Amino acid sequence: MDGPSGSGKSSVSKGVARALGLRYLDTGAMYRAMTWWMLREDVPLDDPAAIAARAGEPVLVSGTDPAAPTIMVDDVDVSGPIRGPEVTGAVSAVAAVPAVRERLVALQREIIGTGGIVVEGRDIGTAVAPDAQVKIYLTASAEARAQRRNAEVTGATIAATQADLARRDHLDSTRKTDPLARAADAIELDTTSLGLGEVIEEVLRIARKHTADADGDSARQARSRAGEPPTRSETSE
C-alpha cells in the first residue's frame, strides 16, 4: 500500500492486516528510525555522502504485529521518538540517499519473505515488491491530509501542516531513487470523504476479489494442463 503522508496508509494497513490475520510492516518507520540514528550520531544531514558512509551501521529490527508494531534501533525502542518534529523534518533527506534505500529495501524484502503481510510505504508497489498480489495507492485531498496529520500532532496550524506535507510530497516524488509514484497496476483509492472503517472495508473487498479471481485462474490452468474441459460457469463467462 503506497501513498503520500496523511492519506491513511498506516491506519488502513494495520486494520486490513488485523482483519486478514496477516503481518504488518511500516517501511516509513524504518526510514524514520534511520533518520533518528543519524541525528543521534550528529551526521550532517545536508551531506548525502556522510549519510551513505554510515547507513550500514545501525541495527534495525521491525516488529510485524499489526496490533502493536515496534521499531528498534541498536536494541532501543524508538517507536515514540521517531514521530517527533525533528525526525519528521529530516526523514525525506535521509530517505533520498541511495545507500539508505538500498539497505532498507533489502531489509524490507527479507521481512516480506514469501508474503502473508501488508506493507505500507511510498515505493512498495513500484520498487520493493513489484510482484505483490494486491497493490493499493491511497490518496486524499491536501486539506484532508493536513487535518488528519494535525489530529495526530498538535502545535501546528492546518496551513503550516499542509505546507510541510507539500514539501515532503515534492521531495519524495522528485528524488532520483525510487520516488513516490503509483504503480501502473495499483488500484487508486481516494479516501478524502471516507471514514477509516469504510476504507478498510473497501480494501478488504478488493483483496478478497483479487484472491477469488486468482484462485479461479489457478483452477482453470490446472484443468487445462490436465486436459479437462472448462466448467459450465467458465464457458458462460
Q: Which pLDDT score, from 0 to 100, does residue 148 have?
A: 85
Find the helix packing angle between 9-20 and 196-225, rounded to 10°: 50
* Domain topology for 9-212: Rossmann fold (3.40.50)
User: What is the domain partition of the chain in residue ranges?
Assistant: 9-212
Burial of 222 (0-12, 13-18, 19+ CB in 10 A): exposed
**175-213, pLDDT tens digit by residue?**
888 888 999 999 999 999 999 999 999 999 999 998 877
Q: How confident is the model at residue 121, as a pLDDT? A: 95
The strand pair at 71-73 and 187-190 is best described as unpaired
Query: Phi, psi (5° rounding) for residue 149?
Result: -65, -35
What pLDDT score was predicted for residue 218?
47
Phi then psi dihedrals of residue 177, to 5 deg? -100, 120
The residue with greater pLDDT, 43 or 142, is: 43
Give yes or no for residue 222 having a pLDDT over 60: no
Under 8 Å between Cβ of 112 and 128: yes
Of the listed ranges 106-110, 125-129, 157-161, 228-232, the least confidently predicted one is 228-232
Each residue's pLDDT tens digit, 31-68: 999 999 999 999 999 999 999 999 999 999 999 999 99
The pLDDT value recorded for residue 227 is: 64
The pLDDT tens digits for 147-182 are 888 877 666 788 888 888 888 888 888 888 888 899
Q: All 3 cell numbers of residue 98?
A: 541511495
